[in-house]
A = this chain, B = another copy of it.
Amino acid sequence: MGDNKNFVKEITNIDEDFAQWYTDIVRKAELADYTETKGCIAIRPYGYAIWENIQDYADKLFKDSGVKNVYFPVLIPESLLQKEKDHVEGFAPEVAWVTEAGGEKLEEKLCIRPTSETIITTMYSKWLSSWRDLPYVYNQWCNVLRWEKETRPFLRSREFLWQEGHTIHETEKEAQERTLKMLEIYADIAEKFLAIPVIKGIKTDTEKFAGADETYTIEAMTYDGKALQSGTSHYFGQNFTKPFEVKFQNREGKQEYAYQTSWGISTRLIGAIIMAHGDNRGLKLPPKVAPIQGVIVPVAMHKEGVKEKVEELYNSLKDKFRMELDLREQVSPGYKFNDWEMKGVPIRIEMGPRDIENGVCVLVRRDTAEKIIVNLNEVEDRIEKLLEEIHTNMYETCKKRMEEKTTIAHDLDEFQTNMNKQQGFIKTMWCGDAECEAKIKELTAAKSRCMPFEQEHISDTCVCCGNKAYKMVVWGRQY
């Protein structure tokens, strides 16, 4: 890894093999690694620090909106999982079962939670008694397990980390408002924190969560024009509260079943960051989530005064930004430049003897490679503004790509032509029939992403069958 040229070459070209490029980034930027437990990853410090920043930002938004955190058991008895018919059909095939424990075979096997509606709703039924107790607006940050056949770090791992919010309410209206409120919060996280533009919408019946009345989603687009479902919020109505007997005495003194929601985002967002922002030089981290926002690399470190000066600069910045000072002696500045670019640090600060003489340092943007010479007394202000500019530029770059790679199709021919040309999102009218959805998927490998909140009128008829159109749908291939 000593030679700069070789170093960059070690990452697969992003346009030649995007999937391999992705795996290279995950491993070489030391975000995560494969483990002896098939399909499960170890999240390394640099990757986990990204997750911690997402958690901090999200948890604050949650709590400001009235969410309280809780924790429920990781193991769920088989009988509980089976109480809601659609739910068990959706999840049973991909769960892992504990059948032995403490040296004995269990009487009833226990699954590792793939999601916690069943165990949480059971407890709600024990706790709830009056409308005065409502709402329960609870969330847990935890691990879940889904036995996927094909896995990919962060995007589709058998075990992953997430938050799952589970709420019950007095009225349908209040529950629906919470469902949408959480989708807005998720869009905020994606766009304002991760610089990833998303489409907000509602899933078709085929694509909604097992057991939900309605599933809302935020859909992002990757570098190669595929779709990435990045957060979902579900309205359950009384689908779970009825079989689980979650009743309360309402204001009229009558027993009523509560109205329920659930919603989640996961470590998949780390995959979204990599796939939305990365390039041939490696990872490119949005400034707000970056564990290291700026790295100082001394040039000609052995020259008198250089080490002292960069340490001084580091100390003056470290309480204001998340900073790193790279004083490694066994590698060259050039190696360090590549290394930190590969790790996606938004700003590199170079400082050598001549800069010190002139009272300046050089800021290098990860997003544009632009070099900016800055007086040392202005550097703090400049970094602050630059981090904002980088965030905006990264968001706009993704937005532009999403616009360029979103097309309209009036019929299946046009759909296939567009999809073959550049993947991307395709907007069409749709009749509402699951058969048309299935046919499109079979022909094009694209699934319905959602019926966007922002509907457009493209034509009067379904792209597939030509019957009367119900809604505009956005379609895309997915990771």
Report yes or no: B101 in contact with A97, Cβ–Cβ below 8 A. yes
With A45-B68, A68-B49, A143-B143 as contacts: A35 and B98 at CB distance below 8 Å: no
Report yes or no: B72 in contact with A42, Cβ–Cβ below 8 A. yes
Chain B nearest CB from A2 CB (Å) reads 13
Report yes or no: B33 in contact with A127, Cβ–Cβ below 8 A. yes
Report yes or no: B33 in contact with A45, Cβ–Cβ below 8 A. no
Report yes or no: A70 in contact with B48, Cβ–Cβ below 8 A. yes
- Nearest CB in chain B to that of A101: its residue: B96
Report yes or no: A103 in contact with B99, Cβ–Cβ below 8 A. no
Question: Is A25 on the interface with B (CB-CB < 8 A)?
Answer: no
Return the 4 tightest CB-CB contacts between A and B, nearest first.
Answer: A102-B147, A96-B101, A40-B73, A45-B68
Number of interface residues of A (CB under 8 A): 56
With A45-B68, A102-B149, A147-B101 as contacts: A35 and B73 at CB distance below 8 Å: yes
Q: Give the docked Cα–Cα distance between A98 and B40 (Å).
A: 14
**For A94, what are the chain B residues with a Cβ–Cβ distance below 8 Å?**
102
Task: Report which of B48, B95, B119 forms a contact with A101, defined as CB distance below 8 A.
Answer: B95
Report yes or no: A45 in contact with B143, Cβ–Cβ below 8 A. no
Within 8 A of B (CB), among A220-245: none
Q: Give the docked Cα–Cα distance between A126 and B42 (Å).
A: 12
Question: Is A93 on the interface with B (CB-CB < 8 A)?
Answer: yes
Binding site for B on A (CB under 8 A): 33, 35-37, 40-45, 48-49, 51-52, 68-77, 80, 93-103, 109-110, 112, 119-120, 122-123, 126-127, 132, 138, 142-143, 145, 147-149, 159, 161, 330
- Nearest CB in chain B to that of A122: its residue: B36
Copies in the complex: 2
**For A96, what are the chain B residues with a Cβ–Cβ distance below 8 Å?**
75, 98, 100-102, 110
Q: Give the docked Cα–Cα distance between A103 and B74 (Å).
A: 19
Q: Give the docked Cα–Cα distance between A432 and B96 (Å).
A: 46
With A35-B73, A71-B48, A80-B36 as contacts: A97 and B99 at CB distance below 8 Å: yes
Chain B nearest CB from A109 CB (Å) reads 8
Chain B nearest CB from A473 CB (Å) reads 31
Contacts A43-B71, A98-B98 aside, 11 further interface pairs with beta carbons under 8 A come to A35-B72, A36-B77, A42-B70, A42-B73, A48-B71, A52-B69, A73-B159, A95-B102, A97-B100, A100-B109, A103-B147
Task: Report which of B51, B75, B102 forms a contact with A40, defined as CB distance below 8 A.
Answer: B75
- Nearest CB in chain B to that of A41: its residue: B73
Report yes or no: B70 in contact with A123, Cβ–Cβ below 8 A. no
Report yes or no: B97 in contact with A45, Cβ–Cβ below 8 A. no
Task: Report which of B37, B43, B52 forms a contact with A110, defined as CB distance below 8 A.
Answer: B37
Q: Give the docked Cα–Cα distance between A75 and B112 (Å).
A: 10
Report yes or no: A159 in contact with B42, Cβ–Cβ below 8 A. no
Chain B nearest CB from A217 CB (Å) reads 25
Report yes or no: A45 in contact with B74, Cβ–Cβ below 8 A. no
